[in-house]
Amino acid sequence: MILKQQPEDFIVEEIPMKKPSSGPFTYFLLKKRNLTTEYAMQRLAQHYKLPRKMFSYAGLKDKNAVTTQWCSARSEIESFKAKDWEVVVQGTAPEQINLGMLKGNKFIITVRECSEKELAAFKNPKKDFKNLFGEQRFGVHNVDIGRAFLQRKYRKATEIIIDTDNTYGPEVKKHLEQYNNDYVGALQKLPRKILVLYIHAYQSKLWNYMAMHFDDEEIPLIGFDSEFENDKVEEQYMDLLKEDNITMRDFVFKDLKELTAEGGMRKTNLHVDIKSKIENNTAILEFQLPPGSYATEIIRQLSVVA
């Protein structure tokens, strides 16, 4: 089984929560191919000669994909088309688009070189899945960086970013060369949404573990204000945090206040209606998911069934 052999194999379209009406914010569709959302935002800012902070989006989207997502600009902008990204203005609205302002996402996914068992699973797909966070949530080092933040090991976090992040690593390194040992200042060179992503990756890794070990309908996402109805769930969470020398209080940050992370509840199961088409050893799957659920995880769980 091969997933994402080319960007066109993974097509994503956001379902908006709000549509344009009138106001100071321009709503637009960002259509991109083989670009991360944040990199596309930087290119937008350069093209329109506006600060990056003038642009916002509802959700991060995969790089190796063809995606259509709702974004906003705190300014008037015009539609624009380039080789690998396009802006299609939809109108104006009274508020900017923020993370989570989605009803969900539509997916058309092409899975190539499937085995006979995988094709059978894709042809008659099951409908019930664990609502696990997908691997793209974690990246290669996101969990490690998030753990370092929570342990207040900011030097370690900057070292990982410098060594592994071609986008922000050079800027972090440059700051430390100018301001020796100012690790907090160096980290503040990253966009808030990227910093928060590292904390979310750590929270999500722990949540996945809990979801695989408990049959509760909902399980808390650990944060500074998490509350537990199940004593065993609470005990297991505390054991996992203790292994990393972290407490719930560590999710409150005084030096990097933007990293302070709340808890929340997340459903452990998903019901998904999947339309499938089989062509030779290739499966084309079409379905919708609520915000925060991962298509790659649905595909993985289907392939495990095979």
Do residue 175 and residue 88 come from a single domain? no
Do residue 170 and residue 220 come from a single domain? yes
Do residue 173 and residue 257 come from a single domain? yes
User: Do the domain assignments include residue 11?
Assistant: no
Long-range pairs for 197-201: beta carbons < 8 A, 24 or more residues apart: 197/60, 197/142, 198/142, 198/145, 198/146, 198/149, 198/157, 199/146, 199/149, 199/150, 199/251, 199/259, 199/261, 200/137, 200/146, 200/261, 201/137, 201/138, 201/139, 201/142, 201/143, 201/145, 201/146
Among the options 9, 62, 216, 273, which is catalytic?
62
DSSP sequence for 17-54 = SS---SSSEEEEEEEEES--HHHHHHHHHHHHT--GGG
62 is catalytic: yes
pLDDT score for 213: 95
pLDDT score for 192: 86
Full domain range(s) for residue 185 = 135-267
Do residue 244 and residue 200 come from a single domain? yes
Mean pLDDT of each 10-residue bin along the chain, 306 residues long: 93 92 94 93 94 92 94 95 94 92 96 93 94 91 97 97 92 95 95 91 97 95 95 96 97 94 95 95 96 94 78
What single-letter DSSP state applies at residue 154? H
pLDDT score for 62: 86
Phi/psi of residue 21, each to 5°?
-135, -80
pLDDT score for 265: 95
Do residue 141 and residue 125 come from a single domain? no
How many CB atoms lie under 10 A from the CB of residue 288?
16
Do residue 126 and residue 275 come from a single domain? yes
Do residue 24 and residue 36 come from a single domain? yes
CATH (domain of 42): 3.30.70.3160
The domain tally of the chain equals 3
Please give the Cα distance from 90 to 30 (Å, whole number). Answer: 10
Do residue 67 and residue 161 come from a single domain? no
